Structure formats: C-alpha cells, structure tokens
Amino acid sequence: MTTIQTFAGLGLGLRRSHYHDFLEGEVAVDFLEIISENYMVAGGKPRDVLSRVRERYPVAMHGVSLSIGSAHGLDADYLRRLRELADWLDPLWVSDHLCWTRTSAHNSHDLLPLPYTRAALDVVCDNIDRAQQAMGRAMLFENPSSYCAFPGNEMEEWEFIAAMARRTGCYLLLDVNNVFVSAHNHGFSARDYIAGLPLERVRQVHLAGHTPGEIVIDTHDREICDGVWRLFAEVSDMLGDAAVMIERDDAIPPLAELLAELDIARAMQQAGAKVAA
Ligand SMILES: [Fe+2]
C-alpha cells in the first residue's frame, strides 16, 4: 500500500460559517479538513467553494460513513464516490473512524463501537484492505469515543488498533479528546492507551471539546478542556510531525476563537519539541 508522508501543520475544519474567511482572508492555518460526505456530489456550490479553498490550502478528507467495521462489508457506491472526490481534490489523506454505522439494511448515522475480538479484527482488516484497494491509497483511521463496551472483548482498544495498523498498513488519526472521553467513561489510563499505539503511524491529531459529566459526551461544541490540553502537552513530543487540528462541529464560534486555540496547540508542540531535544 502507498506511503503517506508526514505533514507537520496546524489546521481547522472547513465549516460553512467560515467559508468567507478562508476564501477572502489570509488565515494562519497550514491545512483544512473537510467532512467528505458534504462534497461527494460533483458540481454545485459545495464543490465550487472547495475548488477555491483548495487553491489556497492543502485539504484533508475526513469521512463519517465508510462503516469500516460493518460485518456486511462496504458500500461499493459510497467507495466509488469517495474515490471520485479524492481523485478530484488530491487531498493530504483520506480518513474515517474505527466504528460501524450501518448494516446492509439500516444506516444508524452514528459512529458505533465495535467488539474488540479477533473475529471483529478480521472483519475490519478485510474491509480496510478493500477500502484502500478501492481508493488506490492508504487511509487513516481514527480511534473512537465510546460510552459502552462489549462484555466479550478479547483485547484493549489500543491493541486492536495496533494490530489493525500492522496487518493492513493503514495509518492513524489520533483523536486526543476521544482518548480522554473513553478513558473517563471506561476507566482506563489515557497515557497507557496512547503509549500502546504505533505512534509512527499517526499522521493527524484531533483536539476537541466535550460535555463533562458522569459519562463524558464527545460533543465538539465547546472549547478544549484543561484535561485534554494536559494530555496533548504530555504526548505531543511523541507524535513526530503529525498534523494537528481542532474539531468544532456545533456552536461554531468566530474563527478568531479557534485560531486562539490553535495558538495554544502550537505553543505546546514547541514546548514539547524543546523538552525532547
Ligand atoms: Fe475526531
């Protein structure tokens, strides 16, 4: 499978309320991430905006509907349309989530957790092989956030991800907030989780806000909390040249607020690099 080169930039998600800023202004980001499904119809306004954005910034594709854990296999038409977008856009990379979203008869539109069993690992690896073949490139897969676990799990989530990367040659998108959320909800150590991953396969990092509570909910609707920042600061020097971005999907603030958070990430990266040197 193809190699995905590192891209050591800081970026944001491309959201409709910021279209004007990115098309007209000089915004201090190194790349933008799109939600792939919002641009999978050729022609029309979304593609027009994206073509103009692409002239100014490198773009990463991030999908939510591949359903890489589906025991019923992958949707060939979805893969064809995803490939068409990727061939048109020439993105930094194409990512999706380690989860399942549908069966052959029903689409939940939710990123649902998988059982971490050897049988599920076989299904996921077969699907990744097929997806990467269909896309003509290696892909990135993101660690999920979750609120429940299967009683028959045979390995830890990070062991499942490490085996998946080793067997398929895929790369990883490390969502630090998802690790924080799941560590709280399931009672594992976020540091052990990250240390257990093949970090040399990480090409992108997500940072995001969540809703605190007895069960922490991954809402992407507020600023990044101190605990996620602390976790990122602790691990940033282990992540090499992975690109880092802030995910905000709801209650989207003016761009200046997100750029201020990106400045914090930049400062932490630089501090981490100094400590590591
Ligand atoms: Fe994420």
Give whole-number Cα distances, 155 to 113, 145, 194, 211, in Å. 14, 17, 15, 28
- Classify residue 20: in a domain, yes or no: yes
Say how many residues make up the chain: 277
Q: What is the CATH number of the domain that holds 99?
A: 3.20.20.150
What separation in Å is there between the alpha carbon of 10 and the centre of ligand 1? 15
Helices (H), the chain: 19-24, 44-54, 76-89, 118-135, 157-168, 176-186, 190-195, 226-235, 255-276
Antiparallel, parallel or unpaired: β 243-247 and 202-208: parallel
- Classify residue 181: in a domain, yes or no: yes
pLDDT tens digit string along 129-158? 999 999 999 999 999 988 888 889 999 999
Point out which residues pair with 112 in neighbouring strands. Answer: 100
Name the residue among 145, 258, 265 with its Cα closest to residue 204. Answer: 265
Amino acid letter, residue 267: A
The domain total for the chain is 1
DSSP state of 38: G
Q: Answer for the pair 163, 126: CB distance below 8 angstroms, yes or no.
A: no
What separation in Å is there between the alpha carbon of 70 and the centre of ligand 1? 20
Please tell me the predicted confidence (pLDDT) of residue 108: 73
Q: Answer for the pair 69, 100: CB distance below 8 angstroms, yes or no.
A: yes
Q: Which two tokens stand for residue 145?
A: 């956030």
- Classify residue 84: in a domain, yes or no: yes
Q: Which two tokens stand for residue 154?
A: 């045979």
Please tell me the predicted confidence (pLDDT) of residue 277: 60
What separation in Å is there between the alpha carbon of 252 and the centre of ligand 1? 16
What separation in Å is there between the alpha carbon of 119 and the centre of ligand 1? 25
Residues 90, 104: Cα–Cα separation, whole Å: 30
Name the residue among 263, 240, 255, 248 with its Cα closest to residue 174. Answer: 240
Antiparallel, parallel or unpaired: β 171-175 and 202-208: parallel
Please tell me the predicted confidence (pLDDT) of residue 272: 76
DSSP state of 155: S
What separation in Å is there between the alpha carbon of 218 and the centre of ligand 1? 9
Helices (H) then strands (E): counts for the chain: 9, 10
- Classify residue 23: in a domain, yes or no: yes
- Classify residue 1: in a domain, yes or no: no
Name the residue among 123, 121, 191 with its Cα closest to residue 162. Answer: 121
Residues 94, 135: Cα–Cα separation, whole Å: 9
What separation in Å is there between the alpha carbon of 15 and the centre of ligand 1? 15
- Classify residue 112: in a domain, yes or no: yes
- Classify residue 228: in a domain, yes or no: yes
Domain, as residue range, for 132: 10-276
What separation in Å is there between the alpha carbon of 142 and the centre of ligand 1? 7
Antiparallel, parallel or unpaired: β 107-112 and 100-102: antiparallel
Report CA Rg, the chain. 18
Q: Answer for the pair 90, 136: CB distance below 8 angstroms, yes or no.
A: no
What separation in Å is there between the alpha carbon of 175 and the centre of ligand 1? 5
- Tokens 């100094």 identify what position? 274
- Classify residue 4: in a domain, yes or no: no
What separation in Å is there between the alpha carbon of 184 and the centre of ligand 1? 16
pLDDT tens digit at each of 277 positions of the chain: 789 999 999 999 999 999 999 999 899 999 999 999 999 998 899 999 999 999 999 999 999 999 999 999 999 999 999 999 999 999 999 999 999 888 777 787 788 889 999 999 999 999 999 999 999 999 999 999 888 888 899 999 999 999 999 999 999 999 999 999 999 999 999 999 999 999 999 999 999 988 898 998 888 888 999 999 999 999 998 998 999 999 998 889 999 999 999 999 999 988 876 666 6
